[in-house]
Structure formats: structure tokens, C-alpha cells
């Protein structure tokens, strides 16, 4: 195998139509306002602005 071959990308950022942002893979996360940093493998982030648990989705977009 060619050593210069590009590595397979494993992190997926998916914009769910009418729903949150789903991110899976190797994630380093930082929330500036809440001063949170961390690493995770999966997260669902609010895109509608109405979640009561920002930055995460709490299904408020359905209401």
C-alpha cells in the first residue's frame, strides 16, 4: 500500500433535516460561553435555538 495514501475519514458531521446536528467520530469539543472542553465520540447539537439544554438538542424543535 502506498504510504502517502490519504487516511480514511471516520468523523461524520450530519445536518439532520428539521433536527439537530449529529456528529460521530473523534471529536474535541469546546463550548466557549460555558467554559467546557472535552473529547467525545457522539454528540447532538441544537440548530433551532430553542433547546433548554444548549448547546445540546433537547427535541424542542418538534414543539
Partner 1 sequence: MEKDRKKFSGGRRYRNEDITVYWKPDACVHASYCYRELIEVFDPGRRPWVDMSGASTDRIIEVVNMCPTEALSWKWNDNERNLEVGPEHTNHIRFRRPELMGDEAEEPEAWEKPVSVRIMYDGPIIIKGDFILKYDGNTKEMRGGLISLCRCGASNKLPFCDGAHRKTGFEDI
Applying CB under 8 A, the residues found at the interface with partner 1 are: 3, 6-7, 9, 11-15, 17, 21, 23, 25-34, 39, 43, 45-50, 54-55
- Closest distance between partner 1 and the C-beta of residue 12, in Å? 5
Q: What DSSP letter does each residue of 39-53 carry, written as one string?
A: EEEEEEE-SSS--SS
Residue 10 CB, nearest distance to partner 1 (Å)?
Answer: 9
- CB of 45 within 8 A of CB of 56? yes
Q: How far is the CB of 29 from partner 1 (least distance, A)?
A: 5
d(CA 34, CA 26): 21
Amino acid at each position: 500500500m502506498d504510504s502517502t495514501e490519504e487516511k480514511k475519514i471516520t468523523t461524520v458531521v450530519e445536518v439532520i433535516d428539521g433536527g439537530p446536528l449529529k456528529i460521530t467520530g473523534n471529536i474535541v469539543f469546546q463550548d466557549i460561553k460555558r467554559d467546557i472542553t472535552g473529547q467525545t465520540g457522539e454528540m447532538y447539537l441544537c440548530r433551532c435555538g430553542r433547546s433548554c439544554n444548549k448547546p445540546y438538542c433537547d427535541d424542542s424543535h418538534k414543539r
